[in-house]
Chains A and B, each alone.
Chain A
Amino acid sequence: MSTTHRAVPARIPAVLMSSAPAESPVLEREEQAVTAMNVPWNVVVWDDPVNLMSYVVYVFRAHFGYSDAKARKLMLEVHNRGRSIVFTGTLEEAETHVSSLHGYGLWATYEKAGEH
């Protein structure tokens, strides 16, 4: 039963995309770490005239676990500059965060670091 339940999070794209580990999973993790160091990905949140500031601060705090100060700084950056990089990490992590942020109704995209 618990195995069936564990299969459900396969909806998350990051899990689906790394779904063919014929080799040792440990080795794959090391490869991913190297890739992550070479090419980090940014999660960008874009400004819109609808989302409440309090809501955006709450999402940054609850989802990423950021401090109140950091969440407010990022929210104001979105508000004043039109966009803010709220997370940097591997492609898989970036995709998962973007999916979660869309779940919250925030307008989020991911891009290779330095592309903007």
Chain B
Amino acid sequence: MAHGFKRTRKGIVGRFEAPEVRLLQKLFSDVGETLEPEAREDGSARNDDPLEALLGWDEDVAEPTDPAVRRLLPAASSDPDQAAEFRRLTDRSLRERKTAALRASSLALESEPVVLSVEQAQDFARSLNDVRLVLASRLNIDSAEAAERVAELTDFGRAEDVEQYMGVVYNFVSWLQETLMNALLKTLPSR
């Protein structure tokens, strides 16, 4: 059983069993794949103009079709033109920022115990949060009631189908993120 994260003098430390490490790394890599840019409607790859790639923006970026990705990269404005312009300017860099955090978090799990600096812990928290957003989308957690329904699933041994298993995973990741946030909050000045 995992012990969660704790703030120590060495940094933010977490201890995990091998299956837990494998599970988290699989989740991080799955979310990373989910964040790969979608192909355009005509089937061509995304804009690969080197200058535009360098600047981090694209000619036009459609709203993601996958609801989970739409939650990871939400519309920034209720004004459709403004939201589209914002997406054009930020979509690529946001995807890259998120996948970089996911990769770094996966790598951090290779050490036993896992010892994180504040910056690494922030990346880890972002990654756990993105995993939870994707799982929540797959589990249709769109209300407080739906969240409570899923919160009852805490035993891997009793999960009877894929959805229940996913619910147990969601609760494990939520619990882990909560321990990480409590540790991270302690690094801030008390005021």
Q: Which residues of A contact B (CB under 8 A)?
A: 10-13, 16-17, 49-52, 54-55, 57-58, 61-62, 67-68, 95, 98-99, 102-105, 107-111
Known contacts A17-B89, A55-B125, A109-B75, then 11 further A-B pairs from the complex at CB < 8 Å, ordered by chain A residue: A49-B136, A49-B142, A52-B129, A55-B177, A67-B191, A102-B74, A102-B94, A107-B74, A108-B76, A109-B76, A110-B77
Q: Which residues of A have CB within 8 Å of B174?
A: 52
Q: Which residue in B55, B77, B177 is a CB contact (below 8 Å) of A16?
A: B55
**A58 & B125 in contact (Cβ 8 Å cutoff):** yes
> For the complex, would chain B's binding face be called helix, strand, loop or mixed by DSSP majority?
helix
Which residues of B come within 8 Å of A, CB atoms? 55-57, 71-78, 86, 89-90, 92-94, 97-98, 122, 125-126, 129-130, 132-133, 136, 141-144, 146-147, 174, 177-178, 181-182, 184-185, 188, 190-191
Count of inter-chain pairs, beta carbons less than 8 A: 97
B181 touches A61 (CB 8 A): no
A89 to chain B, nearest CB (A): 15
Known: A61-B188, A110-B77. A99 touches B129 (CB 8 A): no
- Contact sample, A vs B, 25 pairs, CB 8 Å cutoff: A10-B56, A11-B55, A11-B92, A12-B93, A13-B86, A16-B55, A17-B89, A49-B142, A50-B147, A52-B178, A54-B178, A54-B182, A55-B177, A58-B125, A67-B191, A68-B188, A95-B76, A98-B86, A99-B76, A102-B74, A103-B94, A104-B126, A105-B126, A107-B74, A109-B74
